[in-house]
Structure formats: C-alpha cells, structure tokens
Amino acid sequence: MKFVIVGTNHAGIAAANTILDNYGEGNELVMLDRNSNLSYLGCGTALWVGRQIDGYEGLFYTKPEDFEAKGAKISLETNVEKVDFDKKVVYAKTKDGQKIEESYDKLILAEGSAPIAPNLPGKDLDGIHFLKLFQEGQAVDQELSKEGVDTVAVIGAGYIGVEIAEAARRRGKNVLLFDAEDTCLASYYDKEFSQLMDENLKENGIETHYGEFAQEYLGENGRVTGLKTDKGQYEVDTVINCIGFRPNSNLGEDHLERFGNGAYLVNRGFQTSDPDVYAVGDCATNYSNALQDTTYIALASNAVRAGIVGAHNAAGTAIDGAGVQGSNGIEIFDLKLVSTGLSVKAAKKADIPVKFVDYEDLQLPGFMPEEKNEKVKIRIVYTEEGNRIVGAQLASHYDMHQLIHMFSLAIQEGLTMDKLQLLDIFFLPHYNQPYNYVTMAALSADK
C-alpha cells in the first residue's frame, strides 16, 4: 500500500511514525511539506523570545533523516498544489519549480492551520508580525532586539497573545495588549478566572485594552509607527497579530465535507467523507467528550493523538480516537491557569444547561511553611440533567496543573459529581490538605 502525507508537522509526524513503526514492511510512505523545517514546538517561541530558555535549537524534536532511515521518502520545501481525488494523485511543486506527482492508496491530510490576518489598512507595513512558524518567531525575536523598538502592540489576548506579551515584557518592552473580548483567554476560562490573569498582566506592567478593535496600522516611510483602534490611537514600534488560527483545507474544499470553520469533517477514526482520505490535526475536526459532539480545537496535544489514530485507520486497523476535552494550560509570570472541557460561558454558548461550584483554599495545611503554600481557586462545571462533569478550571501560583488531567479523564468517562465527592484522594501535608479543595468543592456542590 502507498501512503502520502501532506504536512509534516506534529500531526503529520505522528501519522508517519505510526505507519513506519507498525506498517512499514512492504508499504510505501511519501511525506510532503512546503516548510523548510519540521517539528518546531511553537509553544517554545515565547519562552525563547522572552529569554526564559537560551535558544530555539531544542524546540525541534525530529529531522527528515529520521524518516528516511525508516524508509520514507520526505520532500520539504515542496508545496502540494492540487489533489485529484478521483485519480488518487497528489500534485506538488518543489522550491526550484520541479513538478511532482504522487499517486496514493491512502492520503493523510495534515495541512494544519494558519494565523487569521486582520485585513486592515496598513497591513503591508514593515514591523507587523504573525506568530505561527519558526521563521516568524525568529523575525519577532530580531524585531525586539532592534534599537528603537521599545513599544509593542499585541492584538489578541488568547494563548499566543498573552504568552508573547509576557515575552516582550520580559525583554523590557512597553506592551499594549488588545482583545475584542472584555478579558484575556476568553475562549478557555470564565471571567472569575481570566480576570486573575488580567490582574497578573497589569501587575507586571502590561497595558491591557479589552473590548477594543484595531482599525488601522499607522506608518511612516513604509514602517509601522502606530495602531488606531475604535477607542484611540497609540504610538507603537511593532505589532504582533495573535487573533486565532483558521484550518488549512483548500486542497479538499471542493471534494471533502467540511465543518463550519472550514476544517475537514472527520469521523472518530479521522476518516473524511472520502474513504481513502484521512485528515488530522489543526486542519480537521475532533470529537468533544464535553459537548458530546464534533468540535474544532487547534492544539499540538490533539494533533499528535489524531495523527496516531488516523494513521492506524488508514493502514486498516479500525480504532476510534478517545475524543478530546481541549485540556490546556498557561503559566505567565508564575501564575498558572489550567482548564479542560467547557467553561460556564462555553456551555451556555452550546445551549447545555449547567451548574457549577467554586471553591478556594490553600494547597497545603496552614502549619506548612508559608513560602511553600499558595491559594488555589477551582471551578467544576456539570450538567443540570444528570450532574455529568463537563468542565474544570484551576488558578494558582502553586503548580497544581497535574490535577486537570483527572478532570479530563472524568469528562472523557462521563463521570458524575456524586462519584467525585468521595473519590480516594490521598492526604500528605507535603502535597495537600486532609479536606482538599477537590473533595470540598464536590461535597459543597448543589448546597
């Protein structure tokens, strides 16, 4: 059997390794990508730009030779221009214009996503950046090193925007952070949690501008010098756009069924509407165990698992993905926020009647050394009908992030609140309290 994979970043890499490690014998694998590098961990961009890690070298975890050593044919700087789904042929062009045609028995699309670009006047001025590729991280890093680049505007206070705003602040820049919503991280947290991050950003010198829409990039001599919004005009030396991603799905747009946002619609085995074509990662949908429905969540963690499951199915081993909860986390100036499943706001948007319980307590017993102890705030969201756990959020300066995986599993397995109330959670003063905040939150629910 001959497999062709379009896109060799996290989802494509996971799919390729699954095929090579389990079905390599007697089969052929061709991997095509238009980028000059692969496996770049975008999550490291803010750490490197903010000088929290020394450099970017460690942010790549594989290289083309690793796939060639396993018998694959990999071609980078090769753009797939078209797919003939009837003839089952992929048409591509290399950097030096050479045309490539690759037939396939099974095609895996791992085309990923691209940053949404605000279509504003002045968008072609120098000094305006996006933050997806390694090369774009390099450009932002060089920008912040330039003489005279003192004030940075970041448009979008989602995950990328908040992380790069922290990085620019750590580089001593003045940072203005804009978002259309009335708080940061609005897609992932309820306001009671995201406002903790808002306070944290302000305490660390970031100027937040919420409910404010960019209208125009202002410039002189071809270079951005300001940003005009519906509420004001600001002198800035560079602008970084972080207003979300849209799925890359133009290759299949006339042949494959797509989701509302354009992502390829796939089943639980990541098979598209064409039985010989699979789609994995940011270019495809996923199944939400919280919504119990199809969703779109662009995360590397989801891309890797989708690549594994999609590849097994393409190779003939029928397995279903476990579905996702959109578990995610962020740490900014030492404040940690983690969430999984639905916030109350997201549940309302999805017309799922929910209840929630909030609780706040110290992580450790009061007799433990103060410097090791911190308050933790938790919210558990569960359905009105049946008390099924559908979401959780935690915030603290204490590193409680591992807890969110328990809630992720609870949502995946359809756990109800009564099962959580008396769950066996050990007590050790080094780690938690005898009456810990998970147990206490669950017990106080519905009171």
Ligand X SMILES: NC(=O)C1=CN([C@@H]2O[C@H](COP(=O)(O)OP(=O)(O)OC[C@H]3O[C@@H](n4cnc5c(N)ncnc54)[C@H](O)[C@@H]3O)[C@@H](O)[C@H]2O)C=CC1
**Separation of alpha carbons 394 and 403, rounded Å:** 9
- The interface region with ligand X, picked from 5-13, 122-130, 177-185, 287-295 by CB under 6 A, is 177-185
Is 441 a residue that touches ligand X (CB under 6 A)?
no
User: H-helix or E-strand containing 411?
Assistant: helix 403-412
Taking CB atoms, the residue at the shortest distance from ligand X is 158
Which three-class secondary structure state does DSSP give residue 164?
A: helix
Tell me the backbone φ, ψ of residue 442, rounded to 5 degrees.
-65, -40
Q: 241-260 mask for ligand FAD (x: CB under 6 A)?
A: -------x--x---------
Largest Cα–Cα separation, the chain: 72
Annotation says 43 is catalytic: yes
Q: Name the packing angle between helices 10-23 and 300-314 (round to 10°).
A: 30
Minimum distance from residue 183 beta carbon to ligand X (Å)? 9
Interface residues for ligand FAD in 427-446 (CB under 6 A)?
Answer: none
Q: Contacts from 119-124 at CB under 8 Å and sequence distance 24+?
A: 120/214, 120/215, 120/216, 120/217, 121/215, 121/216, 121/217, 122/216, 122/217, 122/218, 122/219, 122/224, 123/217
Q: Which of residues 116-135 bind ligand X (CB under 6 A)?
A: 118
Chosen from ligand X, ligand FAD, none, partner binding at 179 (C-beta under 5 to 8 Å by type): ligand X
Site for ligand X in 139-168 (CB under 6 A): 155-161, 163
217 bridge partner residues: 227
From 43, 255, 397, 401, active-site residue: 43
Q: Which of 7, 50, 252, 341 lies at the binding interface for ligand FAD (CB under 6 A)?
A: 7
Among residue numbers 272 through 291, which ones bind ligand X (CB under 6 A)? none
Annotation says 10 is catalytic: yes
Choices 17-25, 100-108, 297-305, 331-339 (CB under 6 A): range interacting with ligand FAD:
297-305
Select from 237-245, 272-280, 303-311, 413-421 the region that touches ligand X (CB under 6 A).
237-245
Per CB under 6 A, the segment of 40-48, 191-199, 224-232, 422-430 that binds ligand FAD is 40-48
Residue 285 as a binder of ligand FAD (CB under 6 A): the answer is no
Structure tokens at 404: 């969110």
Which residue blocks in 95-152 are alpha helix, DSSP H?
134-145
Q: 263: which DSSP letter?
A: P
Nearest one of 231, 230, 163 to 200, comparing CA atoms: 163
Residue 247 tokens, joined:
């799925």
Q: Is 50 in the site for ligand FAD (CB under 6 A)?
A: no
* Nearby residues of 58 by Cβ (< 8 Å), 6 or more positions away: 44
Q: Which of 3, 33, 208, 272 binds ligand FAD (CB under 6 A)?
A: 33
Shortest Å, Cβ 384 to ligand X: 28
Report the interface residues with ligand FAD, using CB under 6 A: 6-7, 9-12, 32-35, 42-43, 45, 79-80, 110-113, 131-132, 160, 248, 251, 281-282, 298-301, 303
Q: Which residues are catalytic?
A: 10, 43
